[in-house]
């Protein structure tokens, strides 16, 4: 087994008196595709929000390995932008693009944390800033080509179709050069053909050495993609294993279908 | 084709619409009755009924409410005319409609085309340079005022238009700039050119000071705090008499110097005019560059979605503070120029109305659009000057414009166009890089 890239230990999140996450332990290894599944309201998105720094977890710890051969660092309680800078990027369940910016600009935003130009650089545009701007542009355009949206580069993001918006979110997340990509229901609202394309895209991303952790309700997609699956219900992990193991796990069947 | 049919098939006005119009008018008449319809005659203690006024109110509301329907009627007639025209000419109507449908406005098409934009800039610049030669001093002074507001508008545009932070106390930074020059000159005899950067930097620091505590606030809350800040600055200026001379203000501020040469008063005005042109050009240049930079994109993203923005690795705090302090810096510079132009500063020049005016310029022109803000400033500053006879209706006119804009063009006169990147050149470059 390769080295772990994300280690979540004992993660607990309380909202007032409600325990949304209860002592979760989840480990994702580099280069693997893992999935997080569970009924609605199980705490899957809360888990993403805790890991990416949008929520501050009540207890537990989160370690991320920022690059190959490096030591894991704790990212618990860090600001979302810092977490992204360390190589963890995500998409959102309810699409959160920048609607009044162009498709290309949306991806260019993802390059923000890997570039430096600030006020003076923006005004005077020294050669370094120009080079950087060109790098941002080329890198972003290549990502658009990868997700098949290059033809829409200059359109407003809000004018894209639903499936295309989801792919744009992936491109934007990839632009931050993550080591681990968190996808929150990437196939929601997609038609079978789009889901098929998404399947291929995620495989392509993983083949480049990126670890992927996805939340998804489309079981066909989950079973076909993931090497390992975590099942949560009421904020607790109830099962972990290969797709085959999960399919026959009685606790999982109970959570999904009832007694 | 589609566009034509839409107007032809929809009913123009229904019984329901008429009933609503009458109801609203009646309601308005009842509401305004005590104020406009009755008057107590103090001599005879009688109530004078002025029902005519109320009738006018009713009629006015009916007319205002039917405006959208009239507009609809106009479109209906227009569609009919186009149809008739094509019928007579024997051409299929959809061709024309396709051509006109969904295009950027003329001005946006011009400014996105580099060659046309260069021509437009050259023409406008030439006109601005010739302008003071053909008009009198009064007109030049008004134009200087308009330029000042263009600077202020473009400064506020960074905060409100680009970063989406509603700032109702922008005038505070303007005041800081103006008083920086006034006080430094009074006590240390510092001249205009030295005060210019100092005023900007000082205002920028105030922007940071205000920015820190309100980083978490958004929308309405942010608006209230900035409004309060603007008032605090004005109240301090009025009451800290030892420092600011209170409402008496500071007078005898020297104008800008020209390499130590003595200028006649009319030369001074000309000099100030060209100086302002230079400042405005620099402002446009800077704002334009910021807009298409990494920072400018981050501001836009912040305006669109704060959480997604942070998740994409943008430091919210740094980005917001940069917007606040840069906007304030510009206001500070404008303040120094204001002090130098008026030769005096009084707290009353920095009332909330001033903030509202600058905000109106940005909103009217189109948030985030440079051309829009320039147009907005010219309209809102020049129009009242040239319609001085109607000055008592100024506020009415102002309110009406804002309401009409909100209904018909909420995006402002000029809507923002985002930069379109030349895909072919990117591809070419990509090949080069790969080879």
Which residues of B, range 22-51, sit inside 8 Å of A by Cβ? none
* CA A247 – CA A243 distance, rounded (Å): 6
B104 at A interface, C-beta within 8 A = no
Q: Do B297 and A52 touch (CB under 8 A)?
A: no
Q: Residues of A with CB below 8 A from B312's CB?
A: 81, 84, 89, 109-110, 112-113, 172-173, 175-176
Q: Do B312 and A84 touch (CB under 8 A)?
A: yes
Same structural domain for residues A65 and A137? no
* CA B325 – CA B176 distance, rounded (Å): 13
B/e letters for B377-398, b = 16+ CB within 10 Å, e = fewer, are bbbbbbebeeeeeeeeeeeeeb
| pLDDT given for residue A9 in this prediction | 93
Same structural domain for residues A182 and A82? yes
pTM: 0.83
Q: Do A123 and B326 touch (CB under 8 A)?
A: no
Give the chain B residue nearest A101 (alpha carbons): B418
B/e letters for A220-247, b = 16+ CB within 10 Å, e = fewer, are ebbbebbebbbbbbebebbbbeebeebe
B79 at A interface, C-beta within 8 A = no
What is each CA distance from B217 to A78, A167, B181, B222, in whole angstroms? Answer: 20, 32, 32, 5
DSSP state of A252: H
B322 at A interface, C-beta within 8 A = yes
Residues of chain B with pLDDT under 50: 1-3, 96-102, 435
Q: Is residue A83 part of a domain?
A: yes
pLDDT over threshold 80, residue A89: yes
Nearest CA to B152 out of B289, B414, B335 is that of B335
Same structural domain for residues A168 and A116? yes
Same structural domain for residues A122 and A235? no
- The sheet with strand A4-15 has its strands ordered as A18-29, A4-15, A59-64, A73-74
Same structural domain for residues A167 and A182? no
| pLDDT given for residue A164 in this prediction | 92
Number of domains in chain A: 2
Which residues of A, range 117-136, sit inside 8 Å of B by Cβ? 117-119, 121-123, 125, 129, 132-134, 136
3-state secondary structure of B428: helix
Chain A: closest CA distance from residue B5 (Å)? 23
B135-408, CATH topology level = ABC transporter involved in vitamin B12 uptake, BtuC (1.10.3470)
A137 at B interface, C-beta within 8 A = yes
Nearest CA to B328 out of B185, B194, B212 is that of B212
The answer to whether residues B433 and A138 touch, using CB atoms and an 8 Å cutoff, is yes
**Average pLDDT estimate for A85-110:** 93
Identify which of B307, B312, B416 has the shortest CB distance to residue A176. Answer: B312
A98 at B interface, C-beta within 8 A = yes
A54 at B interface, C-beta within 8 A = yes
The answer to whether residues B169 and B226 touch, using CB atoms and an 8 Å cutoff, is yes
Chain A: closest CA distance from residue B420 (Å)? 6
* CA A167 – CA A187 distance, rounded (Å): 9
| pLDDT given for residue B435 in this prediction | 43
* CA B205 – CA B210 distance, rounded (Å): 9
Instruction: Out of A144, A176, A208, pick the residue that ends a domain.
Output: A176
Same structural domain for residues A259 and A223? yes
Residue A32's CATH number: 3.40.50.300
Which neighbouring-strand residues pair with A19?
A14
| pLDDT given for residue A201 in this prediction | 94
Q: Is residue A92 part of a domain?
A: no
Give the chain A residue nearest B303 (alpha carbons): A98
Q: Tell which of A109, A113, A115, A142 to mutate to test the B interface (max B CBs under 10 Å).
A: A109
Give the chain A residue nearest B315 (alpha carbons): A81
| pLDDT given for residue A245 in this prediction | 92
Question: Three-state secondary structure along A147-173?
Answer: HCCHHHCCCEHHHCCHHHHHHHHHHHH
The answer to whether residues B88 and B36 touch, using CB atoms and an 8 Å cutoff, is no
Q: Do A52 and B311 touch (CB under 8 A)?
A: yes
Chain A: closest CA distance from residue B312 (Å)? 5
DSSP state of B258: B
Domain that holds residue A69: 1-87+178-259
Q: Is residue A117 part of a domain?
A: yes
| pLDDT given for residue B433 in this prediction | 59
| pLDDT given for residue B400 in this prediction | 81
DSSP state of A64: E
Q: Give the residue ranges of DSSP H helices in A10-126.
A: 44-52, 80-85, 103-110, 119-124
Q: Do A176 and B313 touch (CB under 8 A)?
A: yes
**Average pLDDT estimate for A32-47:** 92
Chain A: closest CA distance from residue B259 (Å)? 27
Percent pLDDT > 90 in chain A is 73
Q: Do B430 and A138 touch (CB under 8 A)?
A: yes
| pLDDT given for residue B6 in this prediction | 53
B305 at A interface, C-beta within 8 A = yes
Instruction: Out of A128, A160, A176, pick the residue that ends a domain.
Output: A176
Which residues of A, range 144-163, sit inside 8 Å of B by Cβ? 150, 153-154, 156
Q: How many CB atoms lie within 10 A of CB B98?
A: 12
Q: Residues of A with CB below 8 A from B300's CB?
A: 98, 100-101, 105
Instruction: Out of A176, A206, A223, pick the residue that ends a domain.
Output: A176
B430 at A interface, C-beta within 8 A = yes
Give the residue extent of every domain in chain B.
2-100, 135-408
Percent pLDDT > 70 in chain A is 99
B215 at A interface, C-beta within 8 A = no
Give the chain A residue nearest B313 (alpha carbons): A81
| pLDDT given for residue B17 in this prediction | 83
Q: Do B297 and A109 touch (CB under 8 A)?
A: yes
Give the chain B residue nearest A106 (alpha carbons): B301
Q: Residues of B with CB below 8 A from A141's CB?
A: 421, 423, 426-427, 430
B423 at A interface, C-beta within 8 A = yes
């Amino acid at each position: 087994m390769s080295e772990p890239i994300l280690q979540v230990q004992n993660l607990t999140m309380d909202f007032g008196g409600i325990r949304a996450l209860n002592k979760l332990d989840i480990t994702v290894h580099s280069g693997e595709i893992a999935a997080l599944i569970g009924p609605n309201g199980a705490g899957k998105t809360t888990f993403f929000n805790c890991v990416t720094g949008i929520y501050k977890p009540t207890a537990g710890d989160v370690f991320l390995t920022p690059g190959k051969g490096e030591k894991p660092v704790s990212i618990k309680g860090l600001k979302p932008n810092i977490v992204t800078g360390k190589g963890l990027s995500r998409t959102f369940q309810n699409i959160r693009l920048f609607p009044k910016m162009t498709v290309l600009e949306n991806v260019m935003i993802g390059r923000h944390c890997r570039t430096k130009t600030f006020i003076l650089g923006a005004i005077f545009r020294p050669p370094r800033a120009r080079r950087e701007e060109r790098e941002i542009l080329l890198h972003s355009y290549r990502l658009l080509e990868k997700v098949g949206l290059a033809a829409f580069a200059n359109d407003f993001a809000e004018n894209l179709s639903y499936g295309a918006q989801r792919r744009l979110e992936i491109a934007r997340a990839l632009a931050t050069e993550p080591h681990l990509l968190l996808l929150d229901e990437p196939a929601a609202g997609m038609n079978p053909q789009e889901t098929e394309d998404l399947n291929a895209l995620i495989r392509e991303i993983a083949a480049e050495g990126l670890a992927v952790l996805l939340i998804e309700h489309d079981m066909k997609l989950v079973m076909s993609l993931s090497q390992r699956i975590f099942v949560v219900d009421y904020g607790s992990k109830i099962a972990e294993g290969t797709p085959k193991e999960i399919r026959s796990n009685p606790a999982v069947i109970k959570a999904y279908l009832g007694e | 084709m589609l566009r034509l049919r839409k107007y032809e098939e929809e009913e123009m006005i229904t019984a329901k619409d008429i009933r609503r119009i009458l109801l609203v008018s009646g309601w308005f008449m009842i509401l305004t009755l005590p104020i406009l319809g009755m008057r107590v005659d103090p001599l005879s203690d009688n109530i004078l009924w002025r029902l005519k006024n109320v009738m006018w109110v009713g009629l006015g509301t009916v007319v205002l409410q039917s405006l959208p329907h009239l507009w609809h009627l106009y479109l209906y007639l227009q569609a009919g005319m186009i149809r008739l025209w094509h019928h007579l000419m024997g051409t299929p109507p959809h061709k024309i409609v396709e051509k006109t449908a969904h295009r950027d406005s003329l001005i946006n098409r011009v400014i996105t085309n580099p060659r046309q934009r260069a021509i437009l800039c050259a023409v406008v610049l030439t006109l601005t340079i010739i302008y003071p030669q053909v008009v009198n001093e009064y007109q030049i002074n008004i134009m200087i005022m308009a330029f000042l507001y263009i600077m202020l508008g473009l400064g506020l545009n960074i905060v409100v238009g680009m970063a989406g932070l509603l700032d109702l106390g922008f005038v505070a930074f303007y005041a800081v700039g103006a008083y920086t020059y006034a006080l430094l000159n009074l006590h240390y005899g510092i001249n205009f050119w030295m005060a210019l950067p100092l005023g900007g930097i000082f205002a920028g620091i105030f922007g940071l000071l205000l920015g820190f505590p309100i980083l978490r606030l958004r929308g309405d809350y942010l608006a209230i705090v900035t409004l309060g800040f603007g008032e605090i600055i004005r109240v301090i200026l009025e009451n800290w008499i030892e420092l600011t001379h209170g409402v008496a203000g500071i007078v005898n501020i020297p104008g800008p110097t020209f390499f130590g040469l003595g200028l006649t008063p009319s030369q001074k005005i000309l000099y100030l005019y060209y100086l302002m042109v230079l400042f405005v050009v620099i402002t446009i240049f800077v704002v334009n560059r910021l807009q298409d930079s990494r920072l400018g994109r981050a501001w836009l993203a912040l305006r669109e979605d704060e959480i997604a923005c942070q998740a994409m690795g943008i430091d919210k705090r740094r980005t917001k503070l940069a917007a606040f302090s840069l906007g304030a810096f510009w206001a500070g510079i404008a303040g120094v120029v204001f002090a130098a132009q008026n030769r005096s500063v009084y707290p009353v020049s920095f009332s909330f109305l001033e903030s509202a005016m600058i905000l109106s310029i940005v909103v009217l022109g189109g948030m985030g659009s440079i051309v829009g803000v320039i147009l907005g400033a010219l309209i809102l500053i020049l129009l009242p000057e040239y319609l001085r006879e109607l000055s008592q209706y100024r506020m009415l006119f102002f309110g009406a414009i804002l309401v009409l804009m909100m209904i018909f063009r909420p995006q402002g006169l000029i809507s923002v166009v985002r930069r379109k990147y030349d895909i072919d050149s990117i591809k070419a470059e990509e090949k080069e890089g790969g080879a």
